[in-house]
Amino acid sequence: MAGLGLIDWDASTKPERKALHSQVLILKKRLHIDWISVFQRAFGPKDNVGLGYEDNLRQGRIAPERAYKLFVWLQENDPALASNVEDDILRLRENTAPEQAVRWETLLARGIFSNVAAFKYSGDLGMASFARREPLPALRLKLLEQFYFEVIVPFDGTLIAFQGYKGLWYPQLIIEDNPILEVTSGAHIIPSNEEGQPYPLHEETDMGKHSFAFLLVQDKRLGKPIAALPPAQAIPAKMRDDLARQIFALPDEAWRLFRINLAFG
């Protein structure tokens, strides 16, 4: 049980688990239920709960596995409340351990599901957009079916592409043999050949959801460590987290992160 979203509940502290109380209370009042019902719905009807559980939650003494279940219950019933919990915990970490607060997952959470669309490849750039831009549900492609992306960038800079699968992230080629590209503002075919025509991708074996992220930055040096990795090698967690911290040190107007999900099978 690592946790859902940005928080590893196994490693959470009492003050962090305490952040659940206010948001759970909001949902409890909205649903017009008592605390026993809250815990039974979150933990399961066979789990014995008592009135003292609210005091434990209010003071952050609730066990990490129960905190995780409460967070999942929030996520299922009101994602905005769950997001508030994550924000509160991240702010708490910024105050107590700023060097640990920013991670790759923190950067992904700031990504937006816009400015990027996926297209089936048929040699015709007029194909209709294939993938919706919402985070979920991802639309489905058949294995070996060819596709490409169109990314619209709002300013000149360096575009760095990533592909995520089952918790790991890899460099994603933008042009032949390179996951980074100098771009000008406007629409860009990704990946493309030297003539700017689609250089289509396909998935051979790995079924399920694949996440794609396109990071636009004004400092081209940030992409060099990623470009040095082989495409088939997962990006080490420390390298991902270091990149996230470098990005958050930049002014907000100096970077953008665009995301899209696809599913194969």
- Asked which of 16-20, 143-147, 190-194 is least confident by mean pLDDT, the reply is 190-194
Residues 12, 90: Cα–Cα separation, whole Å: 11
| Higher-scoring residue by pLDDT: 222, 50 | 222
pTM exceeds 0.85 for this model: no
**For the chain, domain boundaries:** 9-101, 108-264
Average pLDDT score over residue span 172-192: 87
Q: How confident is the model at residue 136 (pLDDT cuts 50, 70, 90)?
A: very low
Pairing, β 116-120 against β 147-153: antiparallel
115: tokens are 């400015």
Q: Can you tell me which residue has the tokens 């992306």?
A: 149
Q: Residue 224 carries which side chain, given as an amino acid letter?
A: K
Q: What is the mean pLDDT of residues 209-236?
A: 88
> For residues 197 and 189, is the Cβ–Cβ distance under 8 A?
yes
Tell me what pLDDT residue 74 has.
93
Q: Is the pLDDT of residue 49 over 80?
A: no
pLDDT of residue 97: 61
Q: Tell me, what's the pLDDT at 158?
A: 95
* pLDDT 10s digits, 19-43: 999 999 999 999 999 998 999 999 9
pLDDT of residue 161: 94
pLDDT, the chain, mean:
83
pLDDT in tens, 152-164: 999 999 999 999 9
- Of the two residues 151 and 2, the one the predictor is more confident about is 151
- What pLDDT is attached to residue 48? 67
* pLDDT at res. 129: 42
Query: Does 52 have pLDDT greater than 90?
Result: no
Query: What gap in Å lies between CA 178 and CA 174, rounded to an integer?
Result: 6
Domain 108-264 bears CATH identifier 1.25.40 = no
Burial class for 127, CB neighbours closer than 10 Å (0-12, 13-18, 19+): middle
Share of residues in the chain with pLDDT > 90 (%) = 37
Question: How far is 111 from 107, CA to CA, in rounded Å?
Answer: 7
| Across 173-180, average pLDDT | 81
3-class SS string, the chain: CCCCCCCCHHHCCHHHHHCHHHHHHHHHHHHCCCHHHHHHHHHCCCCCCCCHHHHHHHCCCCCHHHHHHHHHHHHHHCHHHHHHHHHHHHHHHHHHCHHHHCCHHHHHHCCECCCEEEEECCCCCCCCCCCCCCCCCCEEECCCCCEEEEEEECCCEEEEEEEEECCEEEECCCECCECEEEECCEEEEECECCCCCECCECCCCCCEEEEEEEEEECCHHHHHHHHCCCCCCCCCHHHHHHHHHHHHCCCHHHEEEEEEEEEEC
What's the pLDDT score for residue 99? Answer: 55
